[in-house]
């Protein structure tokens, strides 16, 4: 991507043919070890205009490696809607005008039918990607999404409806006996873990209760961070009324995917894989929706139409709050009012976003597009660099504000999730410790994306970092310690920052949303706020520790 940027004199239109789409697995993707089914999609993001990436679970990346590819890059644009078929050494571009406007579920099934092989892996876009919605996803295996930064719109801009892969090759592993030995031990440890049963039952849905108790649950567009109705949208409610099964990514005994069915009511018959925490929070508490069936309906629509649930939940909440505060008029809302919890109107808005119709045409432009049309909303749109904020309030933990502010892709939690640690530590924490924690997270968490494995066994079940370093060494046949690998992560962070600086990013893009500096008014963290002076000090120290100048420009050579 750096080279492609240089080739285009530092100017790349995210939706132009010159933008590069990278589909990459990692050296551990598909290797016999727990939770190794991840791959990443990266590009210049149409949401931010900067570096963007998003990782996907399931088995797509495994198949890509079995076809013999570590990474695929795509530039240019197909003349008509097409899908790319990678069949080991053969690559073809297949016209598919019949798939125009089709949802992800139908697209995946029809491509498999067309190829006469139901084991082919397919990563596709829904109608939102075709319509260039700035937060369109790429989806595989029913509902495993590369959800953030609008990679689906990049695919849509290239007229690529899907990438299908079939691979039949063995993966390269230097020391197979040792890898099997380490993996067997890892599977044993996972199986015996006392949280494994809870995890298999609830997956990430257990986080709703945690976030509510800690006072970080996004509620009413992050105006509140604690909700008295949260029990209606938590994991126990899901188990009691809706869950009918589990799904898992390649090789993962944790099976965090919840399959849910709506059995009665106006959304009866809806089946979806999900929600996980972010979706339940952003389509639930953040929109004032306490009917779990409505969350399932919203989850299903977003997956099939191909839009990110985090961005969707943010932007619909902005409309509700904007209308409530008279910042938006009934005309702005096409004559249809909306209030918290209005699930019928919320479902309508989800469809309008994907189809770029009515007010949905503005929301489809993402945070930056919304603010361009309605600058009066600047204090209530929660975003960093144009990417809408993930489902964790950060006012009780200023390190999390720094994590959002300095994230290369915008306000997303997967780069650094420091909020839990800081809240546990209480007030006895200096800014140096906070900055160190953010940098450590940004490096250690990036490693998992680089390896192509899921980070949840590390986060939730306490897998040690050294385990991954040892395994990586045996796979590639060269010894690496964790510190060597963290240097690679640091280099990566310098590189993505350099890409962003080249595309125009500077210090002014490294601040959390305006609401971060307004105190929380209720709940366990009432009165908590991120202090602006403290933030400025942390940001300056962060640049210093990274060896960047006062504007956040890396002092390195990237060529």
Closest approach, Cβ 413 to ligand SF4, in A, equals 14
Query: How distant is the alpha carbon of residue 329 from its chain centre?
Result: 32
Q: Report yes or no: 153 and 136 within 8 Å, Cβ to Cβ.
A: yes
Closest approach, Cβ 339 to ligand SF4, in A, equals 34
Tell me the C-alpha distance between 453 and 415, whole Å: 14
Nearer to ligand SF4 by C-beta: 274 or 552?
274
DSSP strand pairing (160-166 vs 121-124): antiparallel
Among 5, 165, 249, 400, contact with ligand SF4 (rule: CB under 6 A):
249
Nearer to ligand SF4 by C-beta: 460 or 510?
460
Closest approach, Cβ 455 to ligand SF4, in A, equals 8
Question: Does 248 engage in binding with ligand SF4 (CB under 6 A)?
Answer: yes
Q: Report yes or no: 226 and 393 within 8 Å, Cβ to Cβ.
A: no
Closest approach, Cβ 259 to ligand SF4, in A, equals 12
Task: Please list every residue from 446 through 485 that binds ligand SF4, using CB under 6 A.
Answer: 454, 456
Nearer to ligand SF4 by C-beta: 182 or 363?
182
Tell me the C-alpha distance between 35 and 406, whole Å: 28
Nearer to ligand SF4 by C-beta: 252 or 439?
252
User: Closest Cα partner for 108 from 64, 67, 139?
Assistant: 139
User: Closest Cα partner for 451 from 473, 429, 431, 483?
Assistant: 473
- Sequence-separated (6 or more) residues with CB below 8 Å from residue 83: 93, 94, 96, 99, 111, 124, 160, 161, 162, 163, 164
> Which of these segments, 250-258, 280-288, 356-364, 543-551, binds ligand SF4 (CB under 6 A)?
250-258
- Sequence-separated (6 or more) residues with CB below 8 Å from residue 20: 1, 4, 12, 43, 44, 73, 74, 75
> Which of these segments, 244-252, 378-386, 504-512, 516-524, binds ligand SF4 (CB under 6 A)?
244-252
Question: Does 57 engage in binding with ligand SF4 (CB under 6 A)?
Answer: yes
Question: Does 37 engage in binding with ligand SF4 (CB under 6 A)?
Answer: yes
H or E segment and range at residue 86 = strand 82-87
Q: Which DSSP symbol is given to 179? A: H
CA distances from 123 to 23, 38, 141 (A): 10, 13, 8
Closest approach, Cβ 55 to ligand SF4, in A, equals 9
Number of Cβ within a 10 Å radius of residue 345: 17
Task: Please list every residue from 252 through 281 that binds ligand SF4, using CB under 6 A.
Answer: 252, 254-257
3-class state of residue 458 by DSSP: helix
Closest approach, Cβ 122 to ligand SF4, in A, equals 18
Question: Does 186 engage in binding with ligand SF4 (CB under 6 A)?
Answer: no
First to last CA, the chain: 12
Tell me the C-alpha distance between 5 and 62, whole Å: 29
Among 5, 12, 33, 35, contact with ligand SF4 (rule: CB under 6 A):
35
Closest approach, Cβ 479 to ligand SF4, in A, equals 27
Count, residues near ligand SF4 per rule CB under 6 A: 12
Nearer to ligand SF4 by C-beta: 57 or 215?
57
3-class state of residue 485 by DSSP: helix
Closest approach, Cβ 462 to ligand SF4, in A, equals 14
Nearer to ligand SF4 by C-beta: 162 or 254?
254
Nearer to ligand SF4 by C-beta: 245 or 432?
245
Nearer to ligand SF4 by C-beta: 146 or 248?
248
3-class state of residue 143 by DSSP: coil
Task: Please list every residue from 319 through 348 that binds ligand SF4, using CB under 6 A.
Answer: none
Nearer to ligand SF4 by C-beta: 25 or 438?
25
Nearer to ligand SF4 by C-beta: 83 or 451?
451
| Residues at the site binding ligand SF4, with contacts judged by CB under 6 A | 35, 37, 57, 248-249, 252, 254-257, 454, 456
């Amino acid at each position: 991507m750096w080279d492609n940027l240089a080739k285009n004199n530092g100017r790349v239109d995210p939706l132009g043919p010159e933008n590069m789409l990278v589909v990459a697995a990692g050296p551990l993707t598909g290797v016999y070890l727990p939770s190794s089914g991840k791959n990443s999609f990266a590009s210049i993001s149409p949401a931010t205009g900067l570096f963007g990436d998003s990782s996907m679970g399931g088995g797509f990346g495994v198949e890509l490696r079995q076809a013999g590819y570590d990474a695929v890059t795509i530039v240019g644009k197909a003349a008509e809607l097409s899908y790319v078929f990678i069949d080991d050494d053969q690559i073809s571009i297949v016209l598919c005008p019949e798939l125009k406007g089709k949802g992800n579920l139908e697209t995946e099934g029809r491509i498999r039918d067309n190829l006469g092989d139901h084991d082919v892996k397919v990563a596709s876009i829904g109608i939102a990607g075709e319509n260039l919605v700035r937060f369109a996803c790429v989806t595989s295996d029913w509902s495993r999404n590369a959800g953030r930064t609008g990679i689906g719109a990049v695919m849509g801009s290239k007229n690529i409806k899907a990438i299908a892969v079939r691979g039949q090759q063995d993966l390269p592993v230097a020391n197979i006996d040792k890898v099997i030995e380490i993996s067997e031990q890892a599977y044993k440890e996972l199986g015996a873990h006392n949280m494994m049963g809870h995890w298999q039952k609830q997956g990430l849905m257990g986080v709703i209760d945690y976030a509510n108790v800690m006072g970080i649950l996004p509620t009413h567009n992050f105006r509140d961070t604690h909700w008295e109705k949260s029990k209606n949208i938590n994991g126990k409610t899901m188990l009691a009324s809706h869950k009918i099964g589990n799904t898992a990514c390649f090789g993962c005994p944790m099976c965090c995917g919840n399959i849910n069915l709506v059995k009665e009511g106006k959304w009866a018959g809806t089946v979806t894989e999900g929600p996980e925490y972010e979706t339940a929070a952003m389509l639930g508490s953040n929109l004032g929706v306490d009917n779990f069936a409505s969350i399932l309906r919203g989850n299903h629509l977003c997956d099939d139409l191909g839009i990110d649930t985090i961005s969707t939940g943010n932007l619909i909440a902005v409309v509700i709050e904007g209308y409530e505060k008279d910042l938006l008029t009934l005309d702005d809302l096409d004559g249809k009012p909306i209030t918290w919890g209005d699930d019928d109107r919320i479902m309508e808005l989800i469809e309008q976003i994907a189809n770029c119709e009515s007010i949905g045409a503005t929301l489809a432009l993402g945070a930056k597009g919304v603010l361009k049309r309605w600058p009066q909303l600047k204090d209530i749109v929660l975003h960093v660099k144009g990417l809408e904020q993930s489902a964790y309030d950060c006012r009780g933990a200023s390190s999390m504000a720094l994590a959002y502010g300095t994230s290369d892709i915008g306000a997303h939690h997967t780069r650094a999730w420091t909020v839990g640690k800081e809240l546990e530590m209480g007030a006895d924490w200096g800014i140096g410790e906070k900055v160190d924690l953010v940098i450590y997270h940004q490096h250690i968490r990036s490693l998992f994306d680089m390896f192509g494995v899921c980070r949840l066994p590390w986060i939730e079940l306490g897998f040690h970092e050294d385990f991954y370093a040892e395994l990586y060494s045996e796979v590639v046949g060269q010894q690496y310690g964790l510190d060597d690998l963290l240097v690679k992560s640091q280099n990566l962070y310098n590189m993505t920052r350099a890409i962003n600086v080249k595309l125009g990013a500077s210090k002014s893009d490294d601040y959390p949303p305006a609401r971060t500096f307004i105190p929380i008014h209720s709940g366990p963290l009432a009165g908590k706020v991120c202090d602006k002076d403290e933030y400025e000090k942390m940001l300056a120290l962060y640049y210093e520790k990274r060896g960047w100048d006062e504007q956040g420009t890396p002092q390195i050579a990237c060529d």
